[in-house]
Amino acid sequence: MLLVTSRPGEICFSRDPIIYTFHTDQPLTTEGLMIEVAIYFCSGAGSDFTKIYTQPLYPDASGNMSLYAGDIINSLLTYSLPSLAAEAITDMDSQVGRFYVDYREITTATPAPAWLSDNGNIRNVIKGGTTYERWSGSNFFSGYLTTTKAFLTWQVSGRLCGSGERMYLYYLHMVAATSGISLKVRVVYTDATETTSQPLVFPIGKKYHVYQIPTGVEQLALTAPTGKTIYYYEVSVMAGSTILAAPFRYEIDNRPSYNPIQLNYINSLGGMDSIRLLGVSEPGLSREAVITERVTNGTNNSQVMPRLLNSSINLTGIWTGNSGFVSRREYDGYLDIFASRGIYRVLSGRWLPLVLTSGKIPLPKSSDDLFSLTIEFQTGFNNISWTPDGQNF
């Protein structure tokens, strides 16, 4: 008899181990003994499952087998970037999916038996992951996330932000489909007065779906009444009086900044975080060219014909910047950028891809009480032509 002895958690990260285990009590001497496992997958909230892969497995000396499905499922999920055309709460369908397996036991005597289906135990997956040493089944979801009601970020509530900083929080809906969800924004001013608003419409929450929420001051159209200044504001997700995502606090950074560079990056948990590089940044332009020689016919009356030419020219923008001094908890949250699969900067109304060039990153010493992060990066493409900054077409 063939049994499924363990399954992934009801919800899991795509870059964490996704493991099914099986056991057969068939004698191991049975000729041609093996099992086949077929993985079925559908993206988003759909119900149209498609068979994506079939894997043969062979029992060990105890009759046990394991299927590692994470890499296959992860390849079917894609990160989506927020829209720059309009500020709206968006269901990030492409980052979530559902899956199950069918399985059967094959021998030489029964080469094509009927499939057994595990479709009564559909599992859910979101794009993202945790570190190898911290992974423990689905404890992130059943323990940490359920207890803290956190958003999908390692950045800390109470972080400093710029008044013009483009920011997002990603919310994972952990309960059954819910209507009447609202985004609550509480603004506290420097005179200790406050206001509460619901600036964006929240769609009906689908269980185990990820929602992208714009949270910058300008994105939420937060303005202080005449004579008041925003001290901090909190963003939370509510269903009536029930807290679905605990308040995340942004404190306005009023320190002087000199043409700060802002980066947005996809974090390890599948959300999108931001970091401002303050102070003096160090831009540069990397130029690579191939010099070739050609045969010429000498000169004419007005021009000396060149023999050496640049046959190809590639220009790449490069930068070095620093976060400025932040708390240790903020610093630790920023370190997630070095594991990011997608780093971007908004220029000319577009998300422009970047590539980190930082190598070994020195971490703070145990005696340090001031923390800042230096980041080196370049454009994620080369150019063969030039257009000055600020020229929008």
Confidence label for 309 from pLDDT (cuts 50, 70 and 90): confident
DSSP 335: G
Which among 13, 8, 148 is positioned nearest to 77, based on CA atoms?
13
- Indicate the average pLDDT of the chain: 91
pLDDT value of residue 298: 61
Collapse the DSSP code of 337 into the 3-class scheme (helix H, G, I; strand E, B; otherwise coil) and give the result.
helix
Which of 308 and 228 is assigned the larger pLDDT?
228
CA 29, distance to chain mean position in Å, is: 48
The span from the CA of 75 to the CA of 173, in Å, is 23
| The token pair that represents 390 in the structure block | 């600020």
pLDDT tens-digit series, residues 30-74: 999 999 999 999 998 778 999 999 999 999 999 999 999 999 999
**CB–CB of 79/95 below 8 Å?**
yes
For residues 320-329, average pLDDT: 88
For residues 280-291, average pLDDT: 82
Domain identity same for 125 and 172: no
pLDDT value of residue 368: 83
Starting from the edge strand earliest in sequence, which strands make up the sheet with 159-161, in order? Answer: 159-161, 242-252, 230-239, 181-189, 194-197
Domain identity same for 303 and 217: no
Q: Of the candidates 203, 229, 254, which is a domain's last residue?
A: 254
The span from the CA of 207 to the CA of 7, in Å, is 20
Domain identity same for 134 and 9: yes
For residue 306, pLDDT over 80 is answered with no
Domain identity same for 132 and 153: no
The span from the CA of 249 to the CA of 245, in Å, is 12
Confidence label for 116 from pLDDT (cuts 50, 70 and 90): very high
Q: Of the candidates 254, 278, 301, which is a domain's last residue?
A: 254
Give the contacts of 115 (CB within 8 A, at least 6 positions apart). Answer: 38, 102, 103, 104
The span from the CA of 95 to the CA of 239, in Å, is 23
Domain identity same for 388 and 341: yes
Domain identity same for 102 and 159: no
For residues 337-357, average pLDDT: 93
Domain identity same for 67 and 97: yes
The span from the CA of 331 to the CA of 364, in Å, is 10
For residue 299, pLDDT over 70 is answered with no
Residues, the chain, total?
Answer: 393
Q: For residue 164, give the CATH number of its domain.
A: 2.60.40.10
**CB–CB of 199/146 below 8 Å?**
no
Domain count, the chain: 3
Which of 282 and 210 is assigned the larger pLDDT?
210
Which of 210 and 176 is assigned the larger pLDDT?
210
For residues 293-307, average pLDDT: 70
pTM for this prediction: 0.91
Domain around 176: 149-254
Q: Of the candidates 143, 172, 201, which is a domain's last residue?
A: 143
pLDDT value of residue 297: 64
Domain identity same for 322 and 292: yes
Domain identity same for 379 and 348: yes
Domain identity same for 10 and 137: yes
Domain identity same for 287 and 242: no
Domain identity same for 250 and 265: no
pLDDT value of residue 146: 87
